[in-house]
Amino acid sequence: MAYDVRFISQSDVESLGITMGEVIDHVEAGWKMKGEGKVELPAKIGIHPRPDCYIHAMPCWISGDIDMAGIKWVAGFPMNLGKKLPYNNGIFVLNDSETGVVKAIMDCNWMTTWRTGAAAGLGAKYFAAQDASVVAVVGLGTIGKITLRAFNEVLPAMKTVKIYDPIAAQAERYTDRGDEGRLSEGRVCNMQRCKRCMRGCGCHHVMRTDTGSAAQDHHGSNAQEGCMLHRKRL
């Protein structure tokens, strides 16, 4: 018997106009359901066809009123940047939990980026001082940008963003006034050293990679007492 499968592109998802606040709320709801035992989320498995690269399979089922199942198949290949190809790419397959029938196949880049930023925002919401006016972002790629958008959502007192990346061009792109992820009001300070970036901040976001860190691990050194540090390891 035939059935329809919907194909959803990244532009289709972006056209919905989903806000960071909405993503943060849904990520928080998902984590709460996981804590209540309503989510089946096995450890992801992966293959590594080239050094420092991965392709991961990430299945999940959410029970209750949502009752949805799916799997994300996502790849990370750092050398793609030199080939003018995306570092990360992948798809998400959504299944009907009652029949197992595939309902949709969609691009997963948007959801991966925004969910990761929302996770950092949730960390800041509950663990950073709510009057934190200075934050640090170390590692200024796509996730560094979306993280700042999430910080904007949950840290109303934020006025200064201290940034660092060992690749100078990344910092230049990050401070471009056209970047969607930048601070809406206030100032962005491009620091030349990671430790200086971390010093005196109430909230930190640090990107690390398996091939060589965008920032060395400076938790506790030069960080403001009581600050929140969010690490993302690829």
- Active centre residues (catalytic): 72
Bridge-based pairing of strands 228-233 and 203-208 is: parallel
Cβ neighbour number for residue 111 with a 10 Å cutoff? 18
Burial of 38 (0-12, 13-18, 19+ CB in 10 A): middle
Q: What is the largest CA-CA distance in the chain?
A: 63
Chain centroid offset of residue 156 CA: 20
| Dihedral over Cα of 62, 63, 69, 71: its sign | positive
